[in-house]
Amino acid sequence: MFTSIVLCTFASLLPLGHASLPLVINTWPFKNATAAAWRVLQSGGSVLDAVERGCARCEVEQCDGSVGYGGSPDESGETTLDALIMNGDTMEVGAVAGLRRIKNAIGVARAVMERTDHTLLVGQSASVFAENMGFVAEDLTTNKSLNIFSQWLQSNCQPNYRKNVFPDPSASCGPYEPRATLKRTKRAQHASRLSHDTIGMLAVDRDGHMAAGTSTNGMTHKVPGRVGDSPIVGAGAYADSSAGGAAATGDGDIMMRFLPSYLAVELMRAGADPSAACKMAISRIKRHYSEFFGAIICANTTGHYGAACNKTPGFTRFHYMVSNSKSDAPLLKSVDCV
């Protein structure tokens, strides 16, 4: 008894602050998504419901043009979607990648988790599954995505994500053939923040049950078939109700090589503070790709949270949203990149 009183006193003096349950936290200033998830928790819904509803809100709002339909057309002009949802109690995961013609990607991801024994479905087959489950097939193309695509064609298919190919990827469109002389395009230039702002969301309820989710339409002008980090468990997001949760955003092609969400959760399991865990996950990537664009959010089961990002000339501060019982409305938070 004495010990716990002392601990409580200390806890209130320490600048750890901001711990309060339940908690919703998501990448970027996607405020309506946070509010939607928060409302679900307030009305007694589960953390999975909260994450699904929050991410779905972004799919409908086409958050930043990088979530949902009508954004990020690939090299053939099509918008395809990636999403993931994870139950931190049971470690069940459902995900879809390269999903075509279905707007509600996070909903399909949840159906994969709850209506199949599988974890990840891809491409046209994922769409067939979705239609079988009652999701409506519709065109994901909009005038906006058509415009982005036609402008890209007019600029000789620049920028693109090809390298070491003929014709010179900085001069014209394909078909491409491998070339012996290695030649790099200036990837960092177009792998910039506007082309991929995934929503990644974590929800924790009063009892520490945790869920994580992501939804995105990937990178603009991606090579068709490209799958990013978002639907890859441990990369785009991870949740374990006995340790914590994390979700990443940014240059997924690079970030997925390091499973940053899994790493951050394991660091929290080993005792790291959420902010420190986030920073360490970012610096692991930075060691190999000093200029990569990316950020990560972390939360533990007592509602402590943090975020981190990699500092580059065009990206020095990362914004994210938080809702917990300390405030009625979602709070805009930010962190200086390191």
Ligand X SMILES: *[C@@H]1O[C@H](CO)[C@@H](O)[C@H](O)[C@H]1NC(C)=O
Q: For residue 4, report the phi and psi dihedrals to the nearest 5 degrees.
A: -70, -35
Identify residues 58-87 at the interface with ligand X (CB under 6 A).
61
Using the rule CB under 6 A, which residue among 3, 143, 154, 189 binds ligand X? Answer: 143
For ligand X, which stretch binds (CB under 6 A), given 84-92, 152-160, 221-229, 296-304? 296-304
**212 pairs with which residues across the strands?**
86, 202
For ligand X, which stretch binds (CB under 6 A), given 38-46, 101-109, 158-166, 299-307? 299-307
In angstroms, rounded to a whole number, what is the distance separating the alpha carbons of residues 31 and 26?
9
In angstroms, rounded to a whole number, what is the distance separating the alpha carbons of residues 142 and 149?
11
**99 pairs with which residues across the strands?**
81
Using the rule CB under 6 A, which residue among 16, 122, 133, 223 binds ligand X? Answer: 16
Interaction between residue 20 and ligand X (CB under 6 A)? no
In 10 A of CB 40, how many CB atoms?
22
Identify residues 207-266 at the interface with ligand X (CB under 6 A).
none
Catalytic-role residue among 27, 198, 216, 220? 198
User: Closest CB to ligand X among 121 and 277?
Assistant: 277
CB of 32 to ligand X, least distance (A): 4
User: Closest CB to ligand X among 29 and 159?
Assistant: 29
CB of 68 to ligand X, least distance (A): 11
Active site residue 198: yes
Please choose, from the candidates 6, 12, 88, 19, the residue with its C-alpha nearest in 3D space to the C-alpha of residue 273: 19
- 133-167 burial: b if 16+ Cβ within 10 Å, else e: bebeeeebbbeebeebbeebeeeebbbbbbeebbb
Interaction between residue 32 and ligand X (CB under 6 A)? yes
Interaction between residue 301 and ligand X (CB under 6 A)? yes
In angstroms, rounded to a whole number, what is the distance separating the alpha carbons of residues 104 and 135?
8
Residue 227 in marked binding region: yes
Extract the tokens encoding 113: 């988790």
| Residues in touch with ligand X (CB under 6 A) | 16, 32, 61, 143, 273-274, 300-302, 304
Annotated binding residues for substrate = 226-229, 249-252
Catalytic site positions: 198
